[in-house]
């Protein structure tokens, strides 16, 4: 009898086998091929890295014309175990040319990542030993999912309390629908919707964490003054040039979401060569803009923007490739709850019937190593997440 083993069970299997403790790490380093994509590196570097990977016992896929340097820059795909990458890092350390020092630095950070955390302006810290859940509170009359609309203040407070009781770590308050084709509301109307709600939630639940779902710096600033803790910007600061200034001055964390255009026209901006690579590159670019102004990684969260300037196939590709984002050194939020892609995949179901599909997306976020999901149904998603976490890592129960 021959049994297949899952990578996450290998350590336990080695222990039960009785291998020498000193050799366990060696075996673990050989236990799984880890495909990695190098994006936009110099062609000579790609050729050298391929030869070094082959020498280490791994491999590297490069474009057909790479060997004759037909292009100045190319992508490459590394195929190796952690043992192969350890050897490659030793080689790269001796080659400070063709941009390989940067490759070495990024590879080291990916293979030995620092623990992720998010530090709020008041000093409280979000840690991600288990996935966190963000509950959605839409203070709008036109959000795509009718059951998420809570226009009356007492209803909002009841909904907020229920979500917190069910295990939500963050409450996401929004005053403008960003569904495809939606019209913008005036800034003062948006603030009139969200500021009193945030203030009231904080008064009733003073220890809760609130994110403000807005792309306007003025609204975000007013929300922070009312008690909000995190900015959730669906434009990743592209919608308002003042947003970056606010992040710097307020020290509040920001969720950077990928989108093209505006909610009104974003579905006419769905042309990608590789949606996963392009989304990742854009989010890193926006994060680097903040880094240049002194904003550290513990103030930034990535959101791939499911449903924003992507069609159904691209949304599925993003969720399938979500691990590409979770290796970038920033916490990742998946926000796919009850969205149209779920309905389309399941045969045209309306938003009211997309709970099971949403739970599947939350489970995929667990598999991909994401840190948070944003959902309408806190209890149902959290129960599925915790069960899957227990299966994948029983020792953490």
Helix (H) or strand (E) holding 41: strand 34-42
Question: Which residues contact residue 279 at a Cβ distance below 8 angstroms, ignoring those fewer than 6 apart?
Answer: 258, 304, 305, 318, 325
Q: Are 72 and 43 in contact (CB under 8 A)?
A: yes
β-strands 34-42, 73-80 pairing? antiparallel
Encode the chain (397 residues) as per-residue pLDDT tens digits: 888 888 888 888 888 888 888 888 888 888 889 999 999 999 999 999 999 999 999 999 999 988 888 889 999 999 999 999 999 999 999 999 999 999 999 999 999 999 999 999 999 999 999 999 999 998 877 565 555 556 678 889 999 999 999 999 999 999 887 767 667 788 899 999 999 999 999 999 999 999 999 999 999 999 999 999 999 999 999 999 999 999 999 999 999 999 976 666 667 666 899 999 999 999 999 999 999 999 999 999 999 999 999 999 999 999 999 999 999 999 999 999 999 999 999 999 999 999 999 999 999 999 999 999 999 999 999 999 999 999 998 766 6
Q: What is the DSSP string of 208-273?
A: -EEEEE-S-HHHHHHHHHHT--EEEETTTTSS-THHHHHHHHH---EEEE---S-TTTGGG----S
- Nearest Cα to Cα of residue 139 among 228, 205, 244, 267: 228
- Can you give the pTM of this predicted structure? 0.92
Position 224 scores a pLDDT of 98
| CA atoms of 158 and 223, how far apart (whole Å) | 20
pLDDT of residue 182: 64
Q: Which positions are annotated as active-site residues?
A: 339, 374
What's the alpha-carbon Rg for the chain, to the nearest Å? Answer: 23
The burial class, CB within 10 Å (0-12 / 13-18 / 19+), for 278 is middle
In this prediction, residue 67 carries a pLDDT of 84
3-state secondary structure 308-369: CCCCHHHHHHHHHCCHHHHCCCCCEEECCCCCHHHHHHCCCCCHHHCHHHHHHHHHHHHHHC
Host H or E run for residue 136: strand 132-138
Please say whether the dihedral angle defined by the alpha carbons of residues 245, 246, 250 and 251, taken in this order, is positive or negative.
negative
8 Å CB contact between 259 and 236: yes
pLDDT of residue 10: 85
* Residue with tokens 């196939």, as numbered in its chain: 313
């Amino acid at each position: 009898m021959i049994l297949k083993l899952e990578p996450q069970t290998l350590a336990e299997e080695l222990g039960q086998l009785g291998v020498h403790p000193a050799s366990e790490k060696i075996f673990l380093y050989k236990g799984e091929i880890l495909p990695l994509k190098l994006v936009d590196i110099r062609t000579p570097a790609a050729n050298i890295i391929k030869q070094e990977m082959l020498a280490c016992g791994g491999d590297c896929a490069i474009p057909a014309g790479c060997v004759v340097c037909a292009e100045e820059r190319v992508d490459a795909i590394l195929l190796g175990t952690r043992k192969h990458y350890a050897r490659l890092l030793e080689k790269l350390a001796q080659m400070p040319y063709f941009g390989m020092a940067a490759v070495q630095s990024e590879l080291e950070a990916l293979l030995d990542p620092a623990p992720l955390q998010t530090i709020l302006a008041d000093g409280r810290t979000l840690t991600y030993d288990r996935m966190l859940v963000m509950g959605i509170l839409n203070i709008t009359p036109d959000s795509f999912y009718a059951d998420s609309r809570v226009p009356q203040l007492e209803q909002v407070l009841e909904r907020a309390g229920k979500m917190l009781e069910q295990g939500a770590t963050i409450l996401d308050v929004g005053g403008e629908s960003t569904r495809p084709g939606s019209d913008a509301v005036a800034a003062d109307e948006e603030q009139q919707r969200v500021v009193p709600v945030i203030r009231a939630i904080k008064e009733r639940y003073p220890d809760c964490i609130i994110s403000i779902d807005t792309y306007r710096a003025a609204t975000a600033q007013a929300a922070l003054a009312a008690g909000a803790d995190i900015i959730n910007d669906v434009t990743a600061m592209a919608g308002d040039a003042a947003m970056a200034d606010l992040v710097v001055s307020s020290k509040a964390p920001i969720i950077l979401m990928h989108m093209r255009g505006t909610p009104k026209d974003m579905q006419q901006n769905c042309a990608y060569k590789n949606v996963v690579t392009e989304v990742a590159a854009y989010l890193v670019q926006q994060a680097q803009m903040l880094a240049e102004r002194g904003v550290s990684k513990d103030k930034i969260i990535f959101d791939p923007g499911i449903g924003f300037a992507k069609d159904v196939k691209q949304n599925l590709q993003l969720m399938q490739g979500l691990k590409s984002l979770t290796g970038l050194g920033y916490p990742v939020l998946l926000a796919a709850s009850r969205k149209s892609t779920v309905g389309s995949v399941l045969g045209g179901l309306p938003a009211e019937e997309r709970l099971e599909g949403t739970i599947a997306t939350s489970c995929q976020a667990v598999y991909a190593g994401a840190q948070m999901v944003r959902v309408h149904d806190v209890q149902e998603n959290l129960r599925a997440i915790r069960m899957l976490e227990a299966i994948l890592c029983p020792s953490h129960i």
